[in-house]
Structure 1
Amino acid sequence: MVTMLVSAVLAGCTAGPSVRPAVVENDGKPRPNVPPAAQPAPLPPLAEPQSPSIKWSDCDADTRERLGSPAVPDSLKFSCARVATTLDAPDLPGRGLARISVLKVGTGTIPLAVVNDVDGEPGSLYTARLAATLPPAFLQKFFLVGVDRRGTGASAPVQCIPGPVRRDLLGGDPAAQDLEPVLDAARKAGQQCAIELDNAQVALDSWRGAGDLDELRKALGLERLNALGHGDGSKVLADYAVRYPGQVGRVVLDGLPDPGADTAAVLDAVAAGAQTTLDAFAADCVSRGCSLGDPKAALTAVADRLRTSPAVSEDGAEFGPGIALYAVYAGLGQRSRWPELADAITAARAGNVDGLQAFAAPFLLDSRAKPTRLDGTIATRCNDSATRLPADEITKVAGVMKGKYPQFGTVLAQQLAWCSPWPVRREALPPAGAAGAPPILVASTAADPMTPEQGTVRAADQMPSAVTISWQGAGHGAFSTSPCVTDAASAFLTDGKIPVDGTLCPA
């Protein structure tokens, strides 16, 4: 367990309010299940690329068009490239070609790879927005390399599920007695994806995503990969540390998912995190004097209204209560959009679902310019998971979760149905842990609707070199949102300053 003291966090405020709360440091905490002899390697120094082979080309105008509103500053300039990697399907190991799309922003000399959630914005766009929140000094030290994970963004996006089926996959209504419509949609989705994806179907996972990152490391001309993971993008980097511990540079994992094999239990904890985040959202709404009132009562009113009088979304399809609640869940993970989310719920209570549709659209709508996020999410998460429950067990779990978490129990439980027809991974993977890797900074957020703190801490407990820092705030991820975490992570990446294991950052 690493217990080196941090010197002082960076002086400048990188995001959020101008007055930063002080860091609260524990005296360290016990790390269960980690052998005392499992000492981490030293934190490696930063090194500039040597003989990079990657070919960057200007993509500034195209990136800005893809970003839409809100725009990012004109001072940021974007370049793009593609990195060849191996598809590596289980039946064709070491064969097949895949190309990973990456984006570069920043004028520094040290590459820092950025990997986002599979169901979030493609890594390229997430990185472009992230760059706009970081201080100039950081982007003069590093240049960020946003990675579109395989099956997402511009990296051969998965687009195999028919539009109406997507709506059924997301439309589990808490008032329903079972999830049979979702299960039926999952069967249709699985059949269609098996046909269209062929060998690639089971090659879309986090383990192979880690292999893509090593090809990126080589193309960048690096001996070690420095990287930042957000949400389940952190899982790809955790897998990287297991596969390539000797190539790990300075790595920050912001919201590492629970590694538990019982997906139902993991989703139960995620639902609990979503409910806690909803309470934080309500408090934030009160502090801003918004007109929403009690969000739980508002969501009940929205669901009841849509159940009796379904709305029609902008693409002419029905917008029911299940999709509305999924849209709210997605919005809770985007802290900067909470005022917009509150307005959307208020409008939906009066019958206007346009605002909620904006939160659901990235999952429902699909085009060449803006591929759906849902198809790649299902492929990746189902390939990462070995859990396959029968229909009656899914119904039972959904009933329990609905009772415990009225707003989001069904929203999360329906994900168990998504993987029902999906092939189960046959290859055995090494245990988590990344023995021999240097210190890895793992950040958690007290109220996180996507990667709850409980799961992040459990994941860190399996990593001998993990150093944890916790933000006592709310939202999905702490880096660039909590000034305290941002400063500590920046000091770790830039200057090699390692915080005390168990450091707390106030909300």
Structure 2
Amino acid sequence: MRRSVASALVAALALTASALVACTADPPAPVTEQRGPRGAVPAGLERYYGQAMTWEDCAPYAKTDGDREPLRAEGVRCARLTVPLDYAKPGADTITLGIVRKPATENGARIGSLIINPGGPGVAGLSTAVRLSGVADVNKRFDFIGFDPRGTGSSEPAVHCLTDAERDAERADDDELDASPSGVAKVEAEQRDYVAKCAERTGHGAAMLANIGTRDVVRDIDVLRSALGDEKLTYLGYSYGTRIGSVYAETFPGNVRAMVLDGAVDPTQDAVAELVAQATGFQSAFTDFIAWCVQRQDCALGGDATRAQSAFQRLVRPLVTRPIETSDGRRLSFSDATTGVTQALYSEKLWELLNTGLNELKQNRAQTLMSLADAYMERDRHGRYTTTQDAFVAVRCVDDTRVTDRAAVLDAQRRYKAAAPFLDDGGPASDALDACAFWPVPPTGTAHLPSVKGLPPVLVISTTGDPATPYEAGVALAGALGGRLLTYEATQHTAFLQGVRCVDDAGAAYLTELRLPPEGVRCSA
């Protein structure tokens, strides 16, 4: 499952739209600035760290319908940052990253740039940064900077594996639930085909796939820091963006001014441990949803909390063999239905919609759950997908140690089903290997406990009922980095700059004044 602030902000970010004034006049002419190099510059990378940036109209950078409105906001401009494809060969091929800037609104009080990553991995970050700028007062003191990490969104080239039609077909097919030898063979053939398409359809091919991981993204961020004219980095990372933050801290500890890491990924967990921990988190969020739902007369799962999960399974398990056709001719599969449910579990604001979708399912209708699944998969109303799903796979395949032992895969699947019984399809676990087992290039990262000397205090925010990045992961990351932990008591994924005053005030004070909240501070909705 992806871990991204984007899912948590489906409802919250919509509230900020009124704060973004669309620019209706002709956009100003492009402006070229050279603010770098600033701070330490690694040998051989001088031309990147000192490059000029040309700020222009953002229209060409908007890759989705959801990007267009925020990127038209007054004062918002975009630019391209050039970085090496391979940092070991800085004189060879280059790629470009899409960057957005929403300038500080009180220029005389400006501190610098706040570089923001929404997570994923692989989620484009331009529109998220602009939307967040309208939530609190942090934009008074900082330019809000969003970037599309290498291989994503407006960055070029983007990772591309499946066509829109192929993605639709993949979602409608529940082959991965077939644990028979023939079923496993079919799934693995599809995974090999997927990997081959990624290498064939992505610009620079295997070289791009080899250099798309967090190891390389943090080096891009350091180039961006310097080109923006900041001697030190001020960073806000959500979800998987916390892993980016912790790796940056290890790589460039002397370049850090401040970091807010919200919705932490446990730095010590391998892919299997993460999968099981996340399953546990979503099961807890589903239990909270049940407690909310059974108090309502229209609860799709009835009025008895002890029987609600069984009622849910009776609704969704038949989809394994009998998917429901939607109004646009697609079919809601078991996988799509559970994807839609997990999308709604990212935030309590989506529970009403989830209950509606489950009530529709009782009537053999699928529109709401399919719409929730489309939101998670980033499919627009025209049937077009973003590159996020492909980039997610590409990054994870180089960021984590591969799991190629079938016994380990089978054990992981069994543990996953036990940890999240509401997502269990009712069939046996499968030992089919995933795409990463067949990836054409070796990993460039691995889970480990960060070891950092000379790092300024960082602020880690962790939510007690976070389904995607469980609370304990934030505790672990704060301890590993010697940072301050802020606890938010709620059931949702991430919290900062989402309208929770206690959290927003603490984060703003830290970013602007470098003043950490007291030890043990807890916030609630």
Please report the TM-score for the alignment, with normalisation by the length of structure 1.
Answer: 0.79
Find the counterpart in structure 1 of residue 199 from structure 2.
194
* Percent of pairs with identical residues: 26
CA distance in 1, matches of 2:345, 2:406: 29
Contact 2:122–2:152 (8 Å) recurs in 1? no
CA 1:358–1:102: 2 relative to 1, 3 Å: farther
> What are the equivalent positions in structure 2 for 1:299-448 lying under 5 Å apart?
299-313=312-326, 316-361=329-374, 363=377, 365=379, 370-408=385-423, 417-423=434-440, 425=442, 427=444, 432-448=450-466
Aligned residue number for residue 85 of structure 1: 83
Range moving further from structure 2, 275-284 or 334-343 = 334-343
SS in 2 for 1:273: helix
Question: Shift of the alpha carbon at 1:444?
Answer: 0.7
- One-letter identity of the residue aligned with 2:494: G
Report the CA distance between 1:264 and its aligned residue.
1.0
Say which SS state the counterpart of residue 487 (structure 2) adopts: strand
Q: Deviations over 1:435-466 (max 9, x none)?
A: 211111011111112211122222222213x1
Name the structure 2 match of 1:452: 470
Q: Confirm or deny: 8 A CA contact 2:398 2:443 kept in the other structure.
A: no
Whether the 8 Å CA contact 1:330–1:360 is kept in 2: the answer is yes
Q: Which residue of 1 aligns with 2:248?
A: 240
Following the alignment from structure 2 to structure 1, what is the Cα–Cα distance between the partners of residues 515 and 333? 50
* 1:172–1:414 Cα contact (<8 Å) kept: no
Of 354-363 and 287-296, deviating more is 287-296
Which of 112, 116, 119 is the aligned partner of 2:118? 116
Instruction: Tell me the distance in 2 between the aligned counterparts of 1:125 and 1:169.
Output: 26
Count matched residues.
Answer: 457
- For structure 2, the residue ranges without an aligned partner over 5 or more in a row are 1-11, 16-48, 303-307
Does the aligned pair in 2 maintain the 1:114–1:228 contact within 8 Å?
yes
Q: Structure 1: any 5+ residue segments left out of the alignment?
A: 1-13, 18-49
Aligned residue runs from structure 1 range 15-54, under 5 A: 53-54=52-53
**Displacement of 1:383:** 0.9
Structure 1 partner of 2:37: none
Partner in structure 2 of residue 101 of structure 1: 98
Residue 4 (structure 1) aligns with: none
What residue in structure 2 maps to residue 131 of structure 1?
133
Match for residue 491 of structure 1 among 509, 514, 525: 509
In the TM superposition, residue 252 of structure 1 has moved relative to its aligned partner by 0.2
Counterpart CA distance in 2 for 1:172 and 1:369 is 21
Question: Structure 1 residue 490: deviation in Å?
Answer: 1.1
Q: What's the CA shift for 1:317? A: 4.2
Q: Over the residues paired in the alignment, what is the CA RMSD in angstroms? A: 3.7
Distance, in Å, in 2 between the alignment partners of 1:494 and 1:214 is 20
Q: Contact 2:285–2:465 at 8 Å: present in 1 too?
A: yes
The Cα of 1:224 is off from its aligned counterpart by 0.7
CA positional deviation for 1:189? 1.2
State the distance in 1 between where 2:452 and 2:471 align. 21
Give me the whole-angstrom Cα distance separating, in 2, the residues matched to 1:198 and 1:123. Answer: 24
Indicate the residue corresponding to 1:207 in structure 2: 215
Secondary structure (helix, strand or coil) at the match of 2:267 reads coil
**One-letter amino acid of the structure 1 residue matched with residue 77 of structure 2:** S
Give TM-score, length-normalised by structure 2.
Answer: 0.76
Residues 185 and 290 (structure 1), Cα distance of their counterparts in 2 relative to 1, 3 Å cut: farther
Cα shift at 1:408: 3.5
Aligned equivalent of 2:54: 55
Alpha-carbon distance change, 84 to 61 in structure 1, aligned in 2, over 3 angstroms? closer
Please tell me whether the aligned partners of residues 365 and 372 of structure 1 are also in contact (alpha carbons under 8 angstroms): no
Give the structure 2 partner of residue 273 of structure 1.
281
Closer, same or farther in 2 for the Cα pair 1:288/1:254, shift >3 Å?
farther
* Cα distance change on mapping 1:431 and 1:66 into 2, 3 Å: same
CA, structure 1 residues 375+63, in 2 after alignment: closer, same or farther (shift >3 Å)? closer
Residue 442 of structure 1 aligns to which amino acid in structure 2? V
1:304–1:153 CA distance, 2 compared to 1 (3 A): same
Q: Does 1:505 align with 2:503?
A: no
Is the 8 Å Cα contact of residues 117 and 146 (structure 2) preserved in structure 1? yes
Give the structure 1 partner of residue 225 of structure 2. Answer: 217
Cα displacement (A) at 1:68? 6.9
The one-letter amino acid paired with 1:275 is: Q
Seen in structure 2, the aligned counterparts of structure 1 residues 117 and 73 have a Cα distance that, compared at 3 Å, is: closer
Alpha carbons 1:234, 1:254 under 8 Å: kept:
yes
SS of corresponding position for 1:154: coil
For each residue in 1:156-200, what CA deviation from the matched residue of structure 2 results, as whole angstroms up to 9, or x when unmatched? 321113553675479658964467254443222112223333211
Higher mean C-alpha deviation, range 330-339 or range 493-502: 330-339
| Residue 74 of structure 1: how far off its partner (Å) | 8.7
Residue in 1 that maps onto 2:487:
470
The amino acid that maps onto 1:447 is G
- Residue aligned with 2:437, SS: coil
Q: Tell me the amino acid that sits aligned with residue 54 of structure 2.
A: K
What is the match of residue 143 of structure 1?
143
Change (3 A) 1:266 1:304: closer
**Shift in Å at residue 244 of structure 1?**
0.9
1:359 positional shift: 2.6
Relative contact order: is structure 1 or structure 2 higher (C-alpha 8 Å, sep ≥ 6)? Answer: 1
